[in-house]
Amino acid sequence: MPRSVTDILIATVREDYEATPEEIALVLTTLTPWETKWRDRHEMLKEEGYELRPRLRPGWKASWLESGADPLECEDGEVLPSRPMLVDAMHEVTGKPVYIKEVPTDGEELRIAQMLVQEEWARDPRNHCVPLMRVFKDHKDPNTSYMVMPLLRPVDNPRFVTVKEIIKFVDQILEGLVFLHEKRVAHRDCVLKNIMMDADAMYLQGFHPIELEYAPDYSGYVKYVPRSAAKVKYYFVDFGISVHIPESLGSMLVTGTFGRDRDPPELSPDWGKRNLQKRGNRSSSDPSAAEEGGEGYDPFKLDIFIIGNMLRREFQVPFSNLDFFGPLVEKMIQPFPDNRPSAEDALKQWQGIRKSISMIHRQWHPRSREEHPIGSFVLDTISLHRFFMSCAKSVAKRVAKVKGTEA
C-alpha cells in the first residue's frame, strides 16, 4: 500500500490504486515539485505584473484544514498539471488569465514564436499561431525567458456538436498551415493537443484554468454560448520542435523522431531503408540531416501527414457522416512524402470538398459509428430544430431592423 505523498500520487495517476480520503487530503496539501518551482518564482512574476493562484503563493495553507470542506471541492485543491514549463496566472492590471511558459532565451521556440507574431504577420487573418502577449527574462538567470500567452481551451472541450463546427475548424487549421508554410515554418508536432481555441466568445464569464467546466472563482459550473453561435479562433501552440527554413536555404531536410504522432513513416527507425528509392537528388548528406545524424526528411510534408492523420483519427474514423474527409486524408497520409500535397493544395482540395456538403448535412451532429439509428434520428432532429430556430431569429432581427429604418 502506498504511504508517501509521492507513492500515493504515482499510484493514483496510474489508476492502479484507489486512495482513501485521508490520503487524497495529504496529497493535495503537499505541493508537487513543479508547483514548488513556480511558488519560488512568485515574487518575480508578481514584479512583472502577474499573480499566481493561492495554492502557488508563498505561505499557502490549505483552506480545507480550517473550513473542514472536502479538498476536492476547494479551488486551492486543484493541483497544477504535470507540465513543469507551464503555469497559469492572472495579469493584475487587466484581470486577464494567461499562461506563462519557461523557455531558453536563445532557443528556436522563442525565436520562431516572436517571428510569427511580428506586427505585419500578426495582422494576417490566416495567422493561427498562438499570440505572444509578452516576453521577459528571468531575474536571476538571463538564459531563461518567459513567454506570456492567452489562456486557451482544448479544441474538443466542449465537444463539437454539429458537422458545421468541424468544417469551420478544418477551414482555420488548413488556412493556418498554409500561412505557416508560406513563412517557411514547419511545426512538426501539429496534433490535436497542440491546437487550441480562444473560447472567450463562448465563456463570457471566463473559466477556471485547471477545472475547465468551473467558473474562475470555483463557485460552480460555468455557462457558455454554443460554439456555433460564437466567434471561435483556433491556434497552433507549442513550437518546441518547430523549424524555420529561410527561402534562401532552399529545400532542406531535417532529422529527429520527436512528436506525439508516431504514425508518420519518416519518424520510424527504418525510414532510411524505406526512403532509399525515393531520395532522388536529396540525400542524407544534406547539412540539416548531418547536424543530428540519421536519415533526413521534409518537415513540411511531415506536417501534412500529421494534420491528415488527425482528421482521420478524430473525425473520419469515429463518425459515419464525416466520410467526406476520405479523399483528402488519403492524399495527406501517403507513405512517401513527395506524394503528399502541399499545404496550399490540401486547402484547395478541402475547399472543393466543403462546397459539396449540403446545408442540411452541416447541421447534423457528428454521428458515432456505434450510435443507434433511433438515437441518430433524435439528435439530428434536435440539431435541425436549432438551426431553423436560429434562422427564424436572424430573419426576425433583419425585419425589425428594416422596419426601424423605414420608421
Residue 217: partners with Cβ closer than 8 Å, 6 or more residues away: 75
Q: Per the domain annotation, does 365 fall within a domain?
A: no
Residues 277, 168, single domain; the answer is yes
Residues 18, 41, single domain; the answer is no
Which residue would you say has higher pLDDT here, 284 or 32?
32
pLDDT in tens, 231-240: 999 999 999 9
Q: What span, in angstroms and rounded, lies between the C-alpha atoms of 221 and 213?
A: 6
Number of domains in the chain: 4
Q: State the pLDDT at residue 379.
A: 59
Q: State the pLDDT at residue 402.
A: 56
pLDDT over 90 at 156, yes or no = yes
* CA dihedral over 387, 391, 393, 397, signed as positive or negative: positive
Q: State the pLDDT at residue 288.
A: 41
Q: Per the domain annotation, does 129 fall within a domain?
A: yes
pLDDT over 60 at 192, yes or no = yes
pLDDT over 70 at 91, yes or no = yes
Q: What span, in angstroms and rounded, lies between the C-alpha atoms of 190 and 219?
A: 35
- From residue 290, alpha-carbon distances to 169, 248, 283, 407 in Å are 38, 19, 10, 75
**First and final CA of the chain: distance in angstroms?**
78
Residues 161, 187, single domain; the answer is yes
pLDDT in tens, 95-127: 999 999 999 999 999 999 999 999 999 999 999
Mean pLDDT of 164-185: 98
pLDDT over 50 at 284, yes or no = no
* CA dihedral over 224, 226, 230, 232, signed as positive or negative: positive
Q: What is the CATH number of the domain that holds 120?
A: 3.30.200.20
Q: What pLDDT band is residue 270 in, cutting at 50, 70 and 90?
A: confident
| 104 close to 110: Cβ distance less than 8 angstroms | yes
Closest CA to 100 of 122, 133, 77: 133
* Range of the structural domain that residue 125 is part of: 33-150
| 104 close to 155: Cβ distance less than 8 angstroms | no
Residues 8, 40, single domain; the answer is no
Q: State the pLDDT at residue 404.
A: 59
Q: State the pLDDT at residue 226.
A: 94
Q: Per the domain annotation, does 310 fall within a domain?
A: yes
Please identify, among 124, 150, 176, the residue that sits at the C-terminal boundary of a domain: 150
Q: Per the domain annotation, does 367 fall within a domain?
A: no
Q: What span, in angstroms and rounded, lies between the C-alpha atoms of 396 and 390?
A: 10
Q: What span, in angstroms and rounded, lies between the C-alpha atoms of 193 and 203?
A: 20
Q: Which residues, in sequence order, are bridge partners of residue 97?
A: 90
Q: What span, in angstroms and rounded, lies between the C-alpha atoms of 261 and 309?
A: 9
Q: What pLDDT band is residue 275 in, cutting at 50, 70 and 90?
A: low
Residues 295, 204, single domain; the answer is yes
Q: What pLDDT band is residue 12 in, cutting at 50, 70 and 90?
A: low
Q: Which residues, in sequence order, are bridge partners of residue 195?
A: 236
pLDDT over 60 at 200, yes or no = yes
Residues 385, 333, single domain; the answer is no
Buried residues in 19-31 as b, exposed as e (16+ CB within 10 A): eeeebbbbbbbbb
SS3 annotation, 310-326: HHHHHHHCCEHHHHHHH
Q: Per the domain annotation, does 366 fall within a domain?
A: no
Q: State the pLDDT at residue 282.
A: 43
Closest CA to 331 of 298, 309, 352, 313: 309
Q: What is the CATH number of the domain that holds 338?
A: 1.10.510.10
Q: State the pLDDT at residue 112.
A: 98
Q: What pLDDT band is residue 24 in, cutting at 50, 70 and 90?
A: confident
Closest CA to 130 of 198, 227, 208: 198
Residues 207, 157, single domain; the answer is yes
Cell output for 42: 512568485
pLDDT over 80 at 279, yes or no = no
pLDDT in tens, 291-317: 344 589 999 999 999 999 999 999 999
| 131 close to 122: Cβ distance less than 8 angstroms | yes
Residues 219, 334, single domain; the answer is yes
Residues 286, 185, single domain; the answer is yes
Residues 307, 205, single domain; the answer is yes
Q: What span, in angstroms and rounded, lies between the C-alpha atoms of 333 and 98?
A: 35
Pairing verdict, β 144-150 and 153-154: unpaired
Q: What span, in angstroms and rounded, lies between the C-alpha atoms of 41 and 388?
A: 53
Mean pLDDT of 267-286: 59
Please identify, among 150, 170, 197, the residue that sits at the C-terminal boundary of a domain: 150
Q: What pLDDT band is residue 271 in, cutting at 50, 70 and 90?
A: confident
Residues 347, 282, single domain; the answer is yes
Please identify, among 150, 170, 189, the residue that sits at the C-terminal boundary of a domain: 150
Q: What pLDDT band is residue 395 in, cutting at 50, 70 and 90?
A: low
Residues 281, 403, single domain; the answer is no
Mean pLDDT of 66-84: 91
Angle formed at CA 120 by CA 115 and CA 124, multiple of 5 degrees = 100
pLDDT over 60 at 13, yes or no = no
Q: State the pLDDT at residue 60.
A: 97
- From residue 250, alpha-carbon distances to 188, 288, 297, 406 in Å are 18, 12, 14, 61
Which residue would you say has higher pLDDT here, 382 or 258?
258
Which residue would you say has higher pLDDT here, 405 or 161?
161
pLDDT over 70 at 365, yes or no = yes
How confident is the prediction for the chain on average, in pLDDT?
87
% of the chain at pLDDT higher than 70 = 81
Q: State the pLDDT at residue 27.
A: 80
